[in-house]
Amino acid sequence: MFLIKLIKTVKGFLLSAIILLCLFSTFIHAESETFAIISDSHIGSNDSVYEEFIQAIDKQNIDVIIHCGDAIHTPGSSKQWKRFIDITGSNKTLHITPGNHDIQGNKSLNEFLRYFPELYYSHSNEDTLFIFLNSELPGEEGMITGKQLAWLKDELQKIFRYKFVFVHRPLFPIFGLHGLDKYKQQRDELHQLFAKQGVSLVVSGHDHLYNRRKMDGITYIIAAASGGQTRFLSDTRFYFRYIVGKRTQSGYYFTVKDMDGATGDEFKINNN
């Protein structure tokens, strides 16, 4: 009798494990299909644009969002973090690389950790490595250095067909000395590391303007803004945009959308 119960228990456990494995595999596969990239929502300053973009993303049935930082406007504001999470929606998978409005010192860092338990990390699907860096660590602002750099070097040694990096401050910003270029030698070494280890795409925020360039085989994107203040130009089409990444048989296809849903740019990442 005991043996029969034991066999039934083991069968039940194995069935549960198989179901969980199938769900996990489906989740990983689903994540590799379509995702949205967004940045600089600055919740607490101008929430309406982010709300519009989330509604547009929802209409496309996209449930994975990569946020390139400055999610909130006031560092350490619990109220703004709660508002950000509420607008984004709890039914989504959210990956975030913190910006200088998210973390400024240890107090706001601890508040960030209440919602996001890792300061930098990686995530992968079958053949793509997504790396989320932190350009705002207290004492290391505007740099990727120390333990984080050592960790990054280890991550980049992993074998994947595609390697995508996300970091709030751009290596090559639109405005000089506004990003990781403040420490030029470190920036150049970081770029050389990316080139050596086969990074295909680096996406940043911070500048509030969309920009795309290619250097040494790496596509560098500045993801524009989804809220906050505009800079220099009165036409908001230059500022407010989000990106949709879609997996295809030949690689990844990206479209850049404005507030009207029009495509402002498109590009492919295809590593043969």
Tell me: do 9 and 68 sit in the same domain: no
Owner of token pair 């590391």: 193
Q: What confidence score (pLDDT) does residue 33 get?
A: 85
d(CA 84, CA 87) in angstroms, rounded, equals 5
The overall pTM is greater than 0.95: no
Tell me: do 103 and 144 sit in the same domain: yes
Number of domains in the chain: 2
Q: What confidence score (pLDDT) does residue 271 get?
A: 82
Tell me: do 133 and 92 sit in the same domain: yes
Q: Note the pLDDT tens digit of each residue in 108-117.
A: 999 999 999 9
Below-70 pLDDT ranges, the chain: 1-32, 230-238, 272
Tell how far CA 61 is from the center of its chain.
18
Q: What confidence score (pLDDT) does residue 29 get?
A: 44
Domain extent at residue 174: 34-269
Tell me: do 24 and 47 sit in the same domain: no
Tell me: do 84 and 4 sit in the same domain: no
Tell me: do 97 and 193 sit in the same domain: yes
Return the CATH number at 232. Answer: 3.60.21.10
- Residue 219's DSSP bridge partners are 201, 214
Using the 8-state DSSP alphabet, how is residue 121 labeled? E
Owner of token pair 């079958």: 126
Query: Which phi-psi region, left, alpha or beta, contains residue 264 (left: φ > 0; alpha: ψ -120 to 50)?
Result: alpha
Tell me: do 58 and 130 sit in the same domain: yes
Q: What confidence score (pLDDT) does residue 179 get?
A: 96
Q: What confidence score (pLDDT) does residue 12 get?
A: 46
What is the torsion angle, in degrees rounded to the nearest 10, for the CA atoms of residue 82, residue 88, residue 91 and residue 96? -90
Tell me: do 43 and 152 sit in the same domain: yes
Tell me: do 24 and 123 sit in the same domain: no
Burial class (CB in 10 A: 0-12, 13-18, 19+), 24: exposed
Burial class (CB in 10 A: 0-12, 13-18, 19+), 225: buried
Q: What confidence score (pLDDT) does residue 251 get?
A: 96
Tell me: do 8 and 85 sit in the same domain: no
Q: At 188, which amino acid appears?
A: D
d(CA 183, CA 205) in angstroms, rounded, equals 18
Tell me: do 51 and 169 sit in the same domain: yes
Give the residue from 259, 150, 159, 142 showing the smallest Cα distance to 204. Answer: 142
Tell me: do 74 and 171 sit in the same domain: yes
Q: What confidence score (pLDDT) does residue 6 get?
A: 38
CA dist 18 → 5, 8, 9, 12, 24 (Å) = 20, 15, 14, 10, 10
- Residue 64's DSSP bridge partners are 93
Q: What confidence score (pLDDT) does residue 15 get?
A: 41
Q: What confidence score (pLDDT) does residue 176 get?
A: 84
